[in-house]
Structures are given as structure tokens and as C-alpha cells.
Amino acid sequence: MKARKKFIIGSGIIIATLLSLAYVGYTQSKTYYHTISELPTLQGATLHQRMRVSGNVRAGSITHRDGRTDFVLEEEGKALAVSYVGSDPLPDTFKDGAQALVEGRLQPEGGFVAEQVQAKCASKYEATPGATQPGASPVQSPGQSMNQSGSPAGTGKS
């Protein structure tokens, strides 16, 4: 089957090309996820990789300096000093206590320079802080819902 053979060769070339492109794209954009507590254990090449670290912004730690914003991320009691040097303004959701995901590189002296910062409130789709959390407990007592909704609106009926 001549045509079949040609098709297989053609496919092989296409797939090899795509694989090499994929590899290049992968090396350009791969980003490691690390937790803050993992960072001190990193050694050698892994220290200089591009990585993503998430944590909560320590209350009161956000300071704006010329051309950068410094803050401290916390996770499970461990802290990481971060300098954000990106050009985009920080997202609105980035504030004290917010959950933030920073992307950048670890500095030799231990700090972290972030080029990107994402932040989100607990969840966009259940956005109101303190609102009833679905799934956590589907059935809630009236008192709870009243407190959480923040308005004295619940009328308990038995």
C-alpha cells in the first residue's frame, strides 16, 4: 500500500514537528507550584525555576514603594516576603487576608520577586464574604443564617 505508507510518513513528520514545538512551548512556560514550606528545601536548579506560590496576604503587610509592591504571604504558619514588580495594577481582590497566587522567581537572598499576582476572595461564585457556604452544611440553623447574612432578616419558623 503505497498511499498508506506515504500517509504514515506524512503523519510522522507532522507529529514530530508538533512534539518538538510542544517541547519548546513547555520549556518556555512551565511553572512549578510550590508551597511556602517547600521553598527552603529546594536545591540546585529547582531554586531558579519559574514558580507559583500561593498563600494568604498577611494583614497590614502591603506596602507600596516606588515601582513595586511588597507584601507577605502566609501559609500554614510559614511566611514569604514578596516583591511585586509587574506592570499591571494589582487586582481589586488583592487586599489584606485575600488568597493570592504569585508567579515569579525566588531570589538568592530568600525573597520572592513576582511578575504576576492573582488574588481571589473565597470564591467568586459564592462571592459574599460570610454568606452561607453551600456544600459546607446544606441545612443551617436560622440563627446561623441570620448572623452570616449580616442582616437581622431571618424569621425562624418551626
Partner 1 sequence: MDIFGSFALLLALLAAVYAFAAGIAGILTRRALLTKSARNAGMAVFGLVTLAVASLEYFFFTDNFSLAYVSEHSNRALPLYYKFSALWAGQEGSLLFWTWLLSIYAFSALFLNRKKHPELMPYVGVTLAAVQIFFLTLNNFVVSPFHVLGGMDASGAMHVARLSEGSGLNPLLQYYEMVIHPPILYLGYTGFTVPFAFAMAALLGRYPGEKWIHITRRWTMVAWCFQTVGILLGAHWAYAVLGWGGYWAWDPVENAALLPWITGTAFLHSVMMQEKRGMMRVWNVWLVFVTFMLCILGTSLTRSGVVSSVHAFAESSIGGWFFTFLGITFLVCLAAWFKNRDYLRSDNQLDSLVSRESSFLFNNLILLAACFAVLWGTLFPVLSEAVTGNKISVGPPFFNKVNVPIALFLLFLTGVGPLLAWRKTSYDALRRNFAWPLVGGVVAGAVGFAFGFRQFYPVICLILSVFVTLTIAAEFYRGARVISARDGTNLLTAVGELTMRNTRRYGGYVVHFGMVLIFIGITGSAFNQDIQKEMAIGQSIQIGPYTILCQNFDQPSTDNYTSDRATLEVLRNGKSEMMLYPEHRVYIASQVPETMVAVESTPLRDLYVVYAGTSPETGKPVIHAYLNPLVKWIWFGGIVVVLGTGLALFPDRRATLVLRPATEKSWGDAISQGASGTPATSPVASAPIRRSGADD
Q: Is there binding between residue 151 and partner 1 (CB under 8 A)?
A: yes
Choose between 78 and 120: whose C-beta lies nearer to partner 1.
120
Cβ atoms of 51 and 103 closer than 8 Å: yes
d(CA 96, CA 119): 11
Q: Is there binding between residue 124 and partner 1 (CB under 8 A)?
A: yes
Choose between 14 and 47: whose C-beta lies nearer to partner 1.
14
Q: Is there binding between residue 86 and partner 1 (CB under 8 A)?
A: no
Cβ atoms of 36 and 79 closer than 8 Å: yes
Q: Smallest distance from the beta carbon of 27 to partner 1, in angstroms?
A: 9
Find all residues with CB under 8 Å of 93, minimum gap 6, and list them.
119, 120, 121
Strands 78-84 and 112-120: parallel
Give the distance between the most distant pair of CA atoms in the chain. 81
Here's the x/- map for partner 1, 8-27, by CB under 8 A: it reads as: --xx--xx-xx--xx-xxx-
For 94, half-sphere exposure in the C-beta direction (CA atoms, 13 angstrom radius) is 22
Choose between 109 and 138: whose C-beta lies nearer to partner 1.
138
Query: What residues make contact with partner 1 under the rule CB under 8 A?
Result: 1, 3-4, 6-7, 10-11, 14-15, 17-18, 21-22, 24-26, 28-33, 52, 64, 66, 69, 87-90, 92-93, 101, 118, 120-121, 123-129, 131-132, 134-135, 138-142, 144-146, 149, 151, 153-158
